[in-house]
Amino acid sequence: MIRTILTTAACVACAGIPTFAAEEKPYTATETAATVLVDKTAVIEDHLPIEINRSTNQFITTAKIDGIEGRYIIDTGATHTTLASEYVAEKMPQAELVPVQIQGSTNVKNGQKIMFGSIDLGPMHFQHFPLFVTSLKPVNTMMEKPIAGILGTTTFLQNPLPFIFSAKNAKVCWSKKYPAFPCAMRGSFDDNMRFISMAKAGGKDIPLLLDTGSSITIVPHGTWEPDAEQATHMKSADINSASTDKMQRGKPMDLDLGGGLVLKNIRPWIAAPGAPGQIGMDILQHFDFCIARKNGNFTITARMHEPENRQ
């Protein structure tokens, strides 16, 4: 049996605002800082148009890069916005691309380039925004329709209004009127605005990245008892490659995310030794969550529900 999973994140871990090292000229964080303009006359709710890639449960929205509209995955596990090099070659053949290396730990193995462009995303307009450019062929093999790229947290969390991700209603928006959801999730935000949940299961603390770019939940090796009879071949893809690998599933246990959010008898997949864990859309389809800024810091609250039938 082959199952389909997708992990899209283009992550720069433990790097804060990154410094990009080009072949000829190093770009500093100051030089790459983008200008972000937010429409202060925005209505009470600024919704992004959403469609769902049903094979992976991911949310896809539209945004304009340099005035050209494209389809983008909303990925809370990615730090930066990434464009498919195939899309850039077709739609933006005059774009100036600079080879770069990302300083710090990263899951990106393929050669990357960077361009600077404008982004229109809902009520936000970005000028001189750093955009990574790399091949997304592995990701697009898993999509019902090709995507132009991936929107990371440093893009959609620039809006000062609370960011709402509602799986129940397939809605993503920034809102002035939403109250905080009742349950405060346990964990913390890293320097790149990504939330790391400190979940608990079987008496162990399990760090899990909140990752709307992943279709499944994966726990770090050694944190969950595996089910020897539950292993299967998974067709998977990330920003680097697509492959079919054998993955093992965990035995049923409760997963406590804090604030009264407890999932009963779940069976996540188990990562290879050394690989990180993540909460994917198989679990996040049961949640609405709100990321807000409070006293200069990010907070996250959530509520749990049964997902609507999207068949």
Kindly state the helix (H) or strand (E) to which residue 155 belongs, with its residue range: helix 153-156
- pLDDT averaged over the chain? 80
Alpha carbons 216 and 270: distance in angstroms, whole number:
11
The predicted pLDDT at position 6 comes to 52
The predicted pLDDT at position 209 comes to 96
Residue 235 has pLDDT above 60, yes or no: no
- How sure is the predictor about 30, in pLDDT bands with cuts at 50, 70 and 90? very low
Alpha carbons 151 and 122: distance in angstroms, whole number:
13
User: What Å distances lie between residue 77 and 11, 227, 309, CA to CA?
Assistant: 7, 27, 25
- How sure is the predictor about 295, in pLDDT bands with cuts at 50, 70 and 90? confident
The predicted pLDDT at position 285 comes to 87
Q: Which of 177-186, 229-238, 301-310 has the lowest mean pLDDT?
A: 229-238
**Stretch 240-248: mean pLDDT, rounded?**
61
User: Which phi-psi region, left, alpha or beta, contains residue 86 (left: φ > 0; alpha: ψ -120 to 50)?
Assistant: alpha
Residue 221 has pLDDT above 90, yes or no: yes
* CA 227-233-236 angle, 5° bins: 115
User: What Å distances lie between residue 184 and 40, 113, 288, 303, CA to CA?
Assistant: 28, 38, 12, 9
- How sure is the predictor about 110, in pLDDT bands with cuts at 50, 70 and 90? low
The predicted pLDDT at position 280 comes to 93
Joined together, the tokens standing for residue 61 give 């929205």
Residue of higher predicted confidence among 154 and 234: 154
The predicted pLDDT at position 56 comes to 81
The predicted pLDDT at position 259 comes to 92
- Residue 90 burial by CB count (10 A; 0-12/13-18/19+): exposed, middle or buried? exposed
Torsion of CA 266, 271, 277, 279, to 10 degrees: -40
The predicted pLDDT at position 241 comes to 45
**Stretch 60-81: mean pLDDT, rounded?**
94
**Stretch 141-146: mean pLDDT, rounded?**
88
Joined together, the tokens standing for residue 51 give 């469609």
Residue 254 has pLDDT above 50, yes or no: yes
- Dihedral of CA 183/184/185/191: which sign? positive
Q: Residue 258: count other Cβ atoms within 10 Å of its Cβ.
A: 16
The predicted pLDDT at position 45 comes to 67
Residue 46 has pLDDT above 60, yes or no: yes
Residue of higher predicted confidence among 40 and 191: 191
**Chain segment 160-216, per-residue pLDDT in tens:** 889 999 887 888 998 887 767 899 999 999 988 899 999 999 999 999 999 999 999
Are 50 and 137 in contact by the 8 Å Cβ rule? The answer is no
Alpha carbons 196 and 218: distance in angstroms, whole number:
13
Residue 120 has pLDDT above 60, yes or no: yes
**Stretch 68-97: mean pLDDT, rounded?**
94
Are 234 and 245 in contact by the 8 Å Cβ rule? The answer is yes
H helices of 4-152, in order, are 85-91, 137-140
Q: What are phi and psi of 86, to 5 degrees?
A: -65, -40
Alpha carbons 32 and 166: distance in angstroms, whole number:
32
The predicted pLDDT at position 231 comes to 62
* pLDDT over 70 percentage in the chain: 75
**Stretch 154-158: mean pLDDT, rounded?**
87
The predicted pLDDT at position 300 comes to 94
Are 209 and 191 in contact by the 8 Å Cβ rule? The answer is no
- How sure is the predictor about 54, in pLDDT bands with cuts at 50, 70 and 90? confident
The predicted pLDDT at position 100 comes to 77
Domains and CATH numbers, the chain: 33-174 (2.40.70.10), 183-304 (2.40.70.10)
Q: What are phi and psi of 155, to 5 degrees?
A: -95, -65
Alpha carbons 268 and 305: distance in angstroms, whole number:
19
